[in-house]
Amino acid sequence: MKVRILSACFILLSSAACRTAGGGEVWDIERCIRHAVEHNLQVRQGLNTVETARVENAQSKLDYLPDLNAGLGYNVSFGRSLDPTTYNYVSGQTVQNASGSLSLSTTVFAGMQKLHNLRRAEFSLMASVQDVERIKDEIAVSVAGAYLQVLYNKEQVAVSKVQIETLESQIERTSRLVEAGSLPIGDRLELEAQLASERYNLVNYENQRVNALLTLTQLLELRDVPGFDVEVPDSAALAAAMDGHDLRSVGEIYGVALEMPRIEVTKWQRRMAEQDVSLARARYYPSLSFGASYGSSWSDARQRPQLGPDGKPYYTNYPFFDQLGDNASSALQFSMSVPIFGGLTARNSVRKTKIALRNADLAVKLAEDQLYKEIQQAWTDASGALERYRSARSSVVSNAESFRNTEQKFNAGAATAVDYNVAKNNLLAAQSLMLQARYEYIFKMKILDFYRGVEITL
């Protein structure tokens, strides 16, 4: 009966021995991933970068609009002064004058720099968006790994507790047999030594569980959550995680994974490098600019000449608005700048951007190669873990039967405590290997599913 309880603890993981004590807060893997993504500081930095890219993208569109400027001026002169409306010198009086202007200017052609700037800003925005998604993907994988590590450590603790209960019961039974003279006292001492060793193992397993939870809470950016623990999937969910996978080929998974944000980021960055080359080449071309202006001025020193009835000229005040109308002027301007020689800066700029483009090509290739290797390794690890799990599961069945027989013999006095401990340790080793293989397989399969665009769940 005790052997059946010992073996069943792996299947009934969601039993009371594995649940959170004290009514603490229990999170499932989906909530953990969602919380980690929402509160990660790198994600927040990435979102700020996206906002900056949006502003730059909007500005690149506004750069097509002409520059429009207005100017106003007011001046008071004393002594000998120049009247700006007549260009005559005025002496012995204070002169006030004012002016206003409106000007418009735009670049008609400059090697299509504005177009390339616009495209580059759009590509930069897309790259920053994909980079945020890349960070989220990395967080999800890290949280999933930490979550499964906690589950593995919790199972180790559960197994160790069952082992201790089994040993305590066996020591109690052996003590009665020793007192009755059916077994030597050495058998009880051997079991007590094994119990002390198992209690030591339990302390280690508890420490590993606590450390695994700490790692997970740090990934979640949690400072203090009393009673925090992870939700343990029921036996059906674990069985589905083990048996519900279709191990696709590496090439098939890789073909889907090429659309992941980590690859898209490098592709958008390559497009940005292409626009940098075009921008550098634009410096070879002449630039054509257009400008228009309108302005007027007023001076209190200016007088309006009049003819009297006798034909003699005399001067009267020149009204403000009359001066503005009479002094108004406008202009149109076209200007062209032709690059002839500038220390070969344009040529060297093109050469440098071409080198950067080649590096961007290599970055895409490097990211794709790294992705393929990761998928290949995960596929190999998953295949190996599945085979190890199946082998370990068979070993658990065999060792459980062997332990059951040894336990019966030990209870009947036909086996020593050493035989009992050897059989029990063999069973424990097989169960430990099965645990490791199971969670390694689940994790690697979750990674492979993630590469295929499947959300990580349990």
Residue 227: helix, strand or coil by DSSP? coil
Angle value at C-alpha 409, between 407 and 415, nearest 5 degrees: 100
Confidence band, pLDDT 50/70/90 cuts, at residue 437:
confident
The token pair at 129 is 């968006």
Residue 7: helix, strand or coil by DSSP? helix
Its pTM surpasses 0.85 = no
Give the least confident one: 236-240, 252-256, 269-273, 325-329: 236-240
Residue ranges of domains in the chain, CATH in brackets: 2-71+110-290+343-451 (1.20.1600.10)
| Cα distance between residue 395 and residue 397, in whole Å | 5
| Cα distance between residue 149 and residue 142, in whole Å | 11
Per-residue model confidence (pLDDT) at position 267 = 97
CA quadruple 148, 230, 209, 34: dihedral sign: positive
Distance set, CA 150 to CA 103, 203, 444 (Å): 69, 15, 16
Residue 77: name the closest of 301, 257, 251 by CA.
301
pLDDT digits (tens, 9 = 90+) for 92-108: 678 888 999 999 999 99
pLDDT digits (tens, 9 = 90+) for 345-371: 889 999 999 999 999 999 999 999 999
Distance set, CA 47 to CA 55, 137, 264, 312, 436 (Å): 13, 15, 17, 79, 38
Residue 67: helix, strand or coil by DSSP? strand
| Cα distance between residue 100 and residue 80, in whole Å | 24
